[in-house]
Structure 1
């Protein structure tokens, strides 16, 4: 597939633009209203094109948000110019939370605290280190996803965090070696979408604004960031792939009412995401009906006017890319741009209103806790403005508020239910507490210097419970595996080494438990040669873990391997060795690594996790476009063409008839389940295209004359804090800005317009046309535990196969829904319901620019089973009949 891109240079006010504004588009179709605005293309080889999308659409036209917008607009209308620009940007890095907006205290709008991590509350005390997203995805359990969201929301609220910087669905896991895949839920758009939706619901029900991130194409860590001398890489994504893969979980998050979207560091089709008018104005705000506010990733802001008119609403943490002197591309520069008319007042009013509306939408105007912790220090008394050191006044910034409650219970349940059993030859598991167990590997025991000894977990020392970087949470404690094992079993010998030691005489009944790891994280740190991504280690265990397993397998007849990992590994060096009897992937369990594991090892619970990605036999079983990391960017913008299109992970191996070692969705149990009595019911009569979208209604008027220069000037006698970023101008700068506006006109990009659009046909509500979520079919299936000894939970997974005769190339199967049963006793059964929506049966039509059902009432097949390669039921949408005991499609 050819990338759809074009580059259009855009000057900006008062700053140097490091990237060009460009358009992301589709083959063929161009909106009639914009056709006259097209400029000549630089190259006839560019097959995908749409003109720039302006202006930024107003928010407030979705019914669920209209009350909040009415309140927000009234408040914003009462603000001065400087107050409006103050709340749209941060006051500077290291000023308390990860980011802090300015305030408008005169009218009652507070400074907002924005804070990581997607697994809890970063850099805080008395909080829970929850399992990471990849672990949550491995549960395939919507209820656990939601409950974790509730707990995370409560902890962030209790600490006074207004905007939680999670969850993560980008990266989606396109590149197996990608550094931050573990922050998301797995390498599939539906698994990611459901994980995000349930998390957002849980968090925002607590009154905390959630942030879905990173939009979009941020699929590797190295070379993701722009700097004054170098462009970030460009993810070149075609239109259909953008909609059906990468934007899918974002659309679901927006439908769930998410309050904020964080733009990615990288470029898409050679335009930086933070100033990309198609991504922000069209895809997010118009097509997907996003009502909240967009924000930059930290220090990803690189322009003034260009980013504002492209639809950016908030600059975080406020500084320029090199945050040394308290300079900003917005704040006082945005005040200047509003006074000189280069940023229209309606655009500024819309941005400010979006932020305030999200605050009202979550009920933060009533009784919301003040921020009571300090990300920069664990002490009680600290500088009030840490980045202004040594000139900052001091005060109490950390009140040590306890917010953990009983959240260890849900954290432990997730860690336990995520454990994925890949292999269990001879039913060696569960173990008996009386067996002689010899445990190998430093991963079995927490870091002897303390679980938080490495800042942001930027080392792989001891038990690996989290990846590294901004996605981490400080451990309140770490329940490590060896402590739990020795508490459970009576005869345990532990070798705290990753080199196989002398073990003396080994009995035939002895069991070796070997712990191995694979780590990754944010490019902020390099760990054991890995620059965020697993560029040094590749898809192999760290610390010579593969050799450790091989050595144990040569000595012991019974070897159990436990893997803590950020993602897939190549296991071929040892997986078929006869003495390697069992393999458990425990993913990244957070603080509850120990008891959650021993509950499975010793049979107190049956394993019920499933792989949220595919484990291939070789790296080369995936396309080079996803296995090759960008490893250079010197003086060029690296290009990352998504030539594999829709075919990532299991979609690729299925297309190429490559048998993986373990398929997406694979996970064994101590018991057995049967799937019977399947039925399919038609709920909605579909049409080729959805019904006409509802028109935008109730749109507020954000227009305003340019205010007086007096609204931009600091009060007389105000004393500023060094490095603290303010929105005020000096009187002379304010006067000059007004004069500049009278004497010249800003050179807007080709296609720029100030006339609001009615919106694309594919839009209409949060997430898109509301008809996309019409339930097309429901399916029911009876799941029975047919084992004799163990209770267990089953995961019913539904995969869709498009009819053979459709005019679109589609993956053989695609996950469309899943449901986890409650724990079923031996012999017990339950009925599971799965749903397919209109969108599930649709593809993105790049010409019509809409979702289309390519075979209305046609022969879709819905495959149901317990893994993508273990599907024993097929239901037909044309005959409404189901067959059981069949052979799956892959």
Structure 2
């Protein structure tokens, strides 16, 4: 197909048509002569953005809290089905951030602070999405750990004097063992596209960093799909093309909706004057077409977009961002296709199984029913009900009013329906004949206290929250990143005030990440604390499922909750003030983020990574280790060499690239054609051809080497789901600096009362190895020609109870 495309068509499918110049947030041109359509790229990681009749799924951080591979996959599958139903070709997700900083604004879109947990979630999500024929787009590659200073123009709009975007300065080992790890899982799962980020990495912009795109991603990881820029993240034309960028979005070059582009006609010129080899453009087009074919989107049954991101009436302009004839042309685009299916039940299950029970004094929870029901409930705080101005009243959810179901920004979705906690609690209360009183104005503390005083024997359910989002929006003084880890709206004061009067105070927190709980967590009247994450549209039903015991809580923390922000160390702090005209953010902590940092410096957290209580108790026992395959110290090279496909293309004459006479130009639409061919001269020096390369076989990183087995028993009175977490300590005699322990696997299983269930974990080469920066290679910690020396621990959390076993070097092979 690519060999039959004209140069104009190749550039057309690599260049976005411009902001709002098509139905989706990103639209490419087409290659009509060979039957390749323009592609629709659409946010976001928790549902179809800017669309009607869709499901708002729980956020990434919420599904990570389930620690359930099956739910991760099913959520991806449902997301893919809804995207396909709306005619989307590329879903802009899943998102992954390292969660290096607990106050990072977009942490909630990703899957927590551990690369293994995040990597599993990413891999399962990708497989689910692409199983429905939609191209997944793993983002943001890489080092996009905070919002402030991610773009210079954005920072200047906030009155910061910066010249360029922030540079995340990351060493080779941390890059691979922390930040690139989940992207490896995405590639291993066959992801079709990867989005490069706004920031710089080691003082080179992510979308023109050849080491990261050509080197780490396409060579080391053997990524076969296409790299697309974040929106207006491209900072050059020729340089980004040579560095490995394959598609530019939304097509506009310097600012949104200006109609100019670094590519389009500029890329045409660059090919004609030999600045960019034609083979590079062939490679761009080939990667895009290959992803399209790989998902089966060449089928005539694959739908075209049936919605508009820009208007809600059935008919509207085809090119909404234009200001000439393109704006006036009316087409039917919004068909109001309902793609929700029965996904609300899945969303409810995910949200319920993500809920983390942090405190439960004297079995306050679950609430009883029937004759054991609470006689009176007080529901307090605006987090109990939907936004009083309408659940979609804030642009891209850029406010924290009512129940916090999702963060803000391009990763948000408009609610088609929303079931609030107050509605769900009232429904349960009607079944039990329970009195429910409520005050949802958090600012009216006097009324809250007077209401509590009127019902002295009530159980009080207090709602509090902490929000964050993307940097182009600010909410209540937070420019994307949180200013601290405090609850918003004086949540601490509200909880303390209610607890001082109510002896049975249950706290429900909806939050984007860790929150400081020190002011109330040990209060004797705070009898239960429930972390409900970001539940999406089923906020109410999922919460009452757990509060009333219909679902035994099985959520576990995907991050550490410290006692104070300083506990996370210097690397855990957002840079709020620039330290240079080009802000420099040195990741000097290396591997030591979140629980690894707490372990290294022996800091006692409030709640450790992986923590979560249940209405029952579990016991782990009988760990054993089986060697599946004996590895070499270093990875082998790939069999044979890597030879890029040959496309028999020729560079056309410049005059062939002039605007065709039969095209009516639409203002601000990005075209591949030239207005004039004058001044374009070709360098007749032979262009470099793609070299044949002999590369390390990084696929072998995913070779199984060990199997660890253990048993888990339910010693309690009710059935529940246990989360068996496998941690590993490296050999300590090799002279290499290793964390105290690292997560290397997890299994979630249903265990009936008095039942014992077997769990097993497969450990791959990557799990047991590390990246040697001096050698520039992955290796195993071999000593004296022998490998082994690891310790394995199966337990309830990073600092929880469990069982452990050493794997001595001399035992290997027995």
Q: 1:257–1:616: structure 2 CA closer, same or farther, 3 Å change rule?
A: same
Q: Which of residues 488, 500, 508 is equivalent to 1:542?
A: 488
The correspondence of residues 83-102 of structure 1 with structure 2, limited to 5 A, is 83-95=9-21, 96-102=23-29
In the superposition, the TM-score normalised over structure 1's length comes to 0.86
Q: 1:880–1:195: structure 2 CA closer, same or farther, 3 Å change rule?
A: farther
Distance (Å, rounded) in 1 between the aligned partners of 2:683 and 2:233: 28
Does 2:619 correspond to 1:671? no
Distance (Å, rounded) in 2 between the aligned partners of 1:119 and 1:803: 40
How far is the alpha carbon of 1:437 from its aligned partner?
Answer: 0.9
How far is the alpha carbon of 1:131 from its aligned partner?
Answer: 0.3
Tell me what 1:370 maps to. 304
1:125, 1:476 within 8 Å by CA — same for their partners in 2?
yes
- Other structure's SS at 1:470 match: coil
How far is the alpha carbon of 1:363 from its aligned partner?
Answer: 0.6
The correspondence of residues 8-407 of structure 1 with structure 2, limited to 5 A, is 75-95=1-21, 96-169=23-96, 171-227=97-153, 230-366=163-299, 367-389=301-323, 391=325, 392=327, 393-407=329-343
CA offsets 1:315-369 (integer angstroms, 9 cap, x no match): 0000022234300010110011111111000001011111011100111001211
- Other structure's SS at 1:796 match: strand
- Other structure's SS at 2:767 match: helix
1:331, 1:727 within 8 Å by CA — same for their partners in 2?
yes
Distance (Å, rounded) in 2 between the aligned partners of 1:696 and 1:550: 66
1:630, 1:638 within 8 Å by CA — same for their partners in 2?
no
Cα RMSD between the aligned structures?
1.8
How far is the alpha carbon of 1:845 from its aligned partner?
Answer: 1.1
Distance (Å, rounded) in 2 between the aligned partners of 1:504 and 1:659: 35
How far is the alpha carbon of 1:211 from its aligned partner?
Answer: 0.4
- Other structure's SS at 1:222 match: coil
Tell me what 1:794 maps to. 722
Count of residues in correspondence between the two structures: 786
1:177, 1:539 within 8 Å by CA — same for their partners in 2?
yes
How far is the alpha carbon of 1:472 from its aligned partner?
Answer: 0.7
Distance (Å, rounded) in 2 between the aligned partners of 1:698 and 1:277: 19
Does 2:792 correspond to 1:862? yes
- Say which is worse superposed, 385-394 or 300-309, in terms of deviation: 385-394
1:138, 1:419 within 8 Å by CA — same for their partners in 2?
yes
How far is the alpha carbon of 1:700 from its aligned partner?
Answer: 1.5
- Say which is worse superposed, 845-854 or 588-597, in terms of deviation: 845-854
How far is the alpha carbon of 1:524 from its aligned partner?
Answer: 1.1
Distance (Å, rounded) in 2 between the aligned partners of 1:592 and 1:561: 19
Structure 2 unaligned blocks of 5 or more = 157-161
CA offsets 1:400-433 (integer angstroms, 9 cap, x no match): 1111101111111000000000110111111135
Tell me what 1:45 maps to. none
CA offsets 1:416-464 (integer angstroms, 9 cap, x no match): 0000001101111111353111111100000122111111101100000
- Other structure's SS at 2:236 match: coil
Q: 1:703–1:643: structure 2 CA closer, same or farther, 3 Å change rule?
A: farther
Q: Which of residues 635, 645, 653 is equivalent to 1:708?
A: 653
Distance (Å, rounded) in 1 between the aligned partners of 2:58 and 2:48: 12
Distance (Å, rounded) in 2 between the aligned partners of 1:495 and 1:550: 16
How far is the alpha carbon of 1:760 from its aligned partner?
Answer: 3.6
2:279, 2:689 within 8 Å by CA — same for their partners in 1?
no
CA offsets 1:348-407 (integer angstroms, 9 cap, x no match): 101111101110011100121111011111211111100014532111111111111011
Q: 1:715–1:523: structure 2 CA closer, same or farther, 3 Å change rule?
A: same
Distance (Å, rounded) in 1 between the aligned partners of 2:240 and 2:56: 35
Structure 1 unaligned blocks of 5 or more = 1-74, 747-751, 883-890
How far is the alpha carbon of 1:879 from its aligned partner?
Answer: 7.4
CA offsets 1:845-875 (integer angstroms, 9 cap, x no match): 1122211110343220111111111142112
1:186, 1:612 within 8 Å by CA — same for their partners in 2?
yes
Distance (Å, rounded) in 2 between the aligned partners of 1:711 and 1:880: 71
Tell me what 2:679 maps to. 736
The correspondence of residues 824-843 of structure 1 with structure 2, limited to 5 A, is 824-843=751-770
CA offsets 1:182-225 (integer angstroms, 9 cap, x no match): 00010010111000000000000111000000010000001101
Distance (Å, rounded) in 1 between the aligned partners of 2:640 and 2:389: 60
- Other structure's SS at 2:778 match: strand
Q: Which of residues 602, 608, 626 is equivalent to 2:572?
A: 626
2:86, 2:306 within 8 Å by CA — same for their partners in 1?
yes
Tell me what 1:412 maps to. 348
How far is the alpha carbon of 1:696 from its aligned partner?
Answer: 3.5
Does 2:713 correspond to 1:784? yes
1:346, 1:703 within 8 Å by CA — same for their partners in 2?
no
Q: Which of residues 406, 410, 420 is equivalent to 1:466?
A: 406
Tell me what 1:446 maps to. 386
Q: 1:423–1:753: structure 2 CA closer, same or farther, 3 Å change rule?
A: farther
Q: 1:504–1:588: structure 2 CA closer, same or farther, 3 Å change rule?
A: closer
How far is the alpha carbon of 1:679 from its aligned partner?
Answer: 2.0
1:118, 1:183 within 8 Å by CA — same for their partners in 2?
yes
- Other structure's SS at 1:278 match: helix
Does 2:731 correspond to 1:803? yes
CA offsets 1:448-486 (integer angstroms, 9 cap, x no match): 221111111011000000000001111111111000001
How far is the alpha carbon of 1:710 from its aligned partner?
Answer: 4.0
Q: 1:539–1:757: structure 2 CA closer, same or farther, 3 Å change rule?
A: farther
Q: 1:419–1:880: structure 2 CA closer, same or farther, 3 Å change rule?
A: farther
The correspondence of residues 464-503 of structure 1 with structure 2, limited to 5 A, is 464-489=404-429, 490-499=434-443, 500=445, 501=448, 502-503=450-451
Distance (Å, rounded) in 1 between the aligned partners of 2:656 and 2:535: 52
1:82, 1:711 within 8 Å by CA — same for their partners in 2?
no
CA offsets 1:38-97 (integer angstroms, 9 cap, x no match): xxxxxxxxxxxxxxxxxxxxxxxxxxxxxxxxxxxxx11111111111110100001220
1:172, 1:219 within 8 Å by CA — same for their partners in 2?
yes
- Other structure's SS at 1:395 match: strand
Distance (Å, rounded) in 2 between the aligned partners of 1:836 and 1:368: 38
CA offsets 1:250-277 (integer angstroms, 9 cap, x no match): 0111011100010010000111011111
- Say which is worse superposed, 490-499 or 584-593, in terms of deviation: 490-499
1:286, 1:759 within 8 Å by CA — same for their partners in 2?
no
